Structure 1
Amino acid sequence: MTHTSLKTVRAGLVAALVLLACAAPARPDSWRPAGDSRLMLTVGRGEASPAAEGGTVLWCDPPRGPHRHAADACAELEAADGRIADIPAKDVVCPMVHAPVTAHAHGTWRGRPVEYTETFPNTCMLTARTGSVFASAAP
């Protein structure tokens, strides 16, 4: 009769648990490729599309980069599924000063291309409509 030591049985059980843990499927929403959500954001004075230089890059998943309000901006984009135009407008009172600014964003959100350009009467209206997304890029 063969006797198996307690150490051998424990080692076998640990190996089996490790193999089972590695074989368990990941949740489908828990995996997102790195660098999948990146936007180049620019804001310029006037009604013409702003020049690309001098903008701010916003990375999400996780929020990072030079954007001062990256966490807030990424959360707002997440709630709007990456569609800047769908970010809910803030209930603020803006002065009726005509100082137009044009916001432009291009890049990707969850692998989908993003292209957004809109002119606002002033920076207050820009912030009211786009939240924190263009906060670091505003002139």
Structure 2
Amino acid sequence: MAQAQPASLYAPSAMVFTVAQGDDSAATVVRASTLSCAPSAQGTHPDPKAACTALKATGGSFDRLLAAPHPGRACPMHYDPVTVTADGVWQGSRVAWKHTFSNACAMSATLNGNVVFAF
């Protein structure tokens, strides 16, 4: 009798990342990118290898993608929300993560240097 064998030695990692204008389910997606990290980095992301490396560094806690806002950058205090999301499967586990920023400047200051949302 044949035994089931895994299709790959790697846990699946296939994600969709979005940047949307708004703070709820009716937010309008303005940019999106796909990323698959196993067995190789690929997708529509402009730098899939760097994005996969950054995701691996989170240890599966996507809140680690967020950094303290850059101290040398002042942002206006107006509310014009921008929401980023990460949906899919990361190293075999389902992920549905989102974070809303008060405006695009706050998003840029917090994600400064973050290659995952640089698309």
Q: TM-score normalised to the size of structure 1? A: 0.61
Higher-strand-fraction structure: 2
**Which of 114, 118, 122 in structure 1 is aligned with 2:103?**
122
For 2:59, the equivalent position in structure 1 comes to 81
Counterpart selection for 1:58 from 23, 32, 35:
35
Q: Provide the aligned C-alpha RMSD in A.
A: 2.6
Alignment of 1:1-139 (within 5 A): 31-33=9-11, 36-49=12-25, 50=27, 55-61=32-38, 62-87=40-65, 89=67, 92=70, 93-96=73-76, 98=78, 99-127=80-108, 128-129=110-111, 131-136=114-119
In structure 2, what is the Cα distance between the partners aligned to 1:87 and 1:53? 20
- From the two aligned structures, give the one with the greater helix fraction: 1
Distance 1:52 1:122, change over 3 A: closer
| Structure 1: segments with no counterpart, 5+ residues | 1-30
Are residues 58 and 94 of structure 1, via their aligned partners in 2, closer, same or farther at CA, if it must alter by over 3 Å? farther
Report the Cα offset of residue 53 of structure 1: 9.1
1:113 and 1:53, CA in 2 relative to 1: closer, same or farther beyond 3 A? farther
Distance 1:75 1:45 in 2: 27
Q: Percent identity?
A: 30
Number of aligned residues = 104
CA–CA separation in structure 1 for the residues paired with 2:101 and 2:35:
21
Report deviation, 1:96. Answer: 2.5
1:55 shift after superposition? 2.5
* Structure 2 unpaired stretches of 5+: 1-8
Aligned-partner Cα distance in 2 for 1:60–1:94 = 35
Q: TM-score, normalization: structure 2?
A: 0.70
